[in-house]
Amino acid sequence: MSIVPSPDLYDHDDSDNVCFLCGHPRFTPYRGNKHFGFPLTFQRCACGLIKQTPMPNERFFDWFFNSEIFVSSRRSESRKIWGYYDYLVDEPFRLATSERRYQRLRRFLPSDRPIEILKIGASTGSFLHVANQHGDRAIGCDVSSRFVEFAKRHYGVHIDHGRFEDVGYRSASFDTIVMLSVLENVPNPPRLLNEVHRVLRSGGHFVFNFIEMKHNIIEALQREKYFLFRPPVTYIYNGTLIERVLSLNGFRTEHNLTDMRYMHLGKILTLLGWNPIHNFTKRMRLASRAFPIYAYPSRIIIAVKPE
């Protein structure tokens, strides 16, 4: 199956090749790939930041996150995974992951009162549901109209349809902003982080995760086949770079945690591209077995906006 996105979904004007983090034009080719018949290159800056070239623009994300190929390769009858094998079927595991993450994160947040939470990229609303069930007041935003409707129908939570940077939330209106599995899909990180800083109250917390590329054994073994080297990934980080990003945007890291999530063998094996083993586990009825795992490897950062 070959899907070649329209050229107008990409930003081809990147001639200066300047890194948004270090300010220098020091990118060189790092990984090349061909995804669904579409050739792309990931370049690495001398500072360590990795970016996709050409860079997906905002229209790409509007198209991709509302497409069937993102939500379910099974239903789109694709043998390859671009987004997920079947995102909505995984909802029980996502709910279990949200409960686990919330319980862990809540220990580091103010405990004397309910807090106002905004989740960027709220997806199906499972995290919002968990937070609200525990007495906090949580809303979200997401570019996928399908997720907004699913969240409203299944959990009764409020999600604004649109890109966080464009919604226009009031300044200093949230105690905590949560952003999980989103940072690597942001084409303009400085713009997003500037808006997070504006919307967050002084002393408030910015909680997000990222995939650690420093000493990443899976990436070293899989090289171009590593799951990050595909659209809609825009930038790829390591822990040192994350600290620089936060500092430049007025945040201070308080905690750096392992990111545990519930995953089943079917998802793990399809991400790795191990289709024969995946087919075997399906025949043995093992593919849907879920368990908590430190995957990818992913880290959770709890940062604060100093008062």
Tokens of 249: 């945007």
**More confident site: 15 or 93:** 93
Mean pLDDT, residues 135-154: 95
Mean pLDDT, residues 117-144: 97
Mean pLDDT, residues 207-220: 94
Tokens of 120: 């960027």
Region 7-304: CATH code: 3.40.50.150
In this prediction, residue 1 carries a pLDDT of 45
How far apart, in whole angstroms, are the C-alpha atoms of residue 247 and residue 241? 10
In this prediction, residue 287 carries a pLDDT of 67
171 pLDDT more than 80: yes
75 pLDDT more than 60: no
Query: Of 45-49, 58-62, 99-103, where does mean pLDDT reach its minimum?
Result: 58-62
C-alpha to C-alpha distances, 219 to 55, 111, 124, 154, 292, nearest whole angstrom: 21, 39, 29, 36, 21
Domain boundaries, given as residue ranges, for the chain: 7-304
DSSP letter, residue 183: G
In this prediction, residue 8 carries a pLDDT of 85
Q: Mean pLDDT of all residues in the chain?
A: 88
Which stretches of the chain are assigned E, i.e. beta strand? 10-11, 27-35, 38-45, 50-53, 55-56, 116-120, 137-142, 159-161, 174-179, 200-211, 235-236, 252-264, 290-304
In this prediction, residue 65 carries a pLDDT of 86
How far apart, in whole angstroms, are the C-alpha atoms of residue 214 and residue 228? 14
Nearest to 117 by CA among 49, 207, 241, 40: 207
How far apart, in whole angstroms, are the C-alpha atoms of residue 150 and residue 123? 9
pLDDT tens digits along 178-207: 999 999 999 999 999 999 999 999 999 999
CB under 8 A, 24+ apart: contacts of 158-162: 158/128, 159/122, 159/125, 159/128
Mean pLDDT, residues 64-83: 66
**Beta bridge partners of residue 34, listed in sequence order:** 39
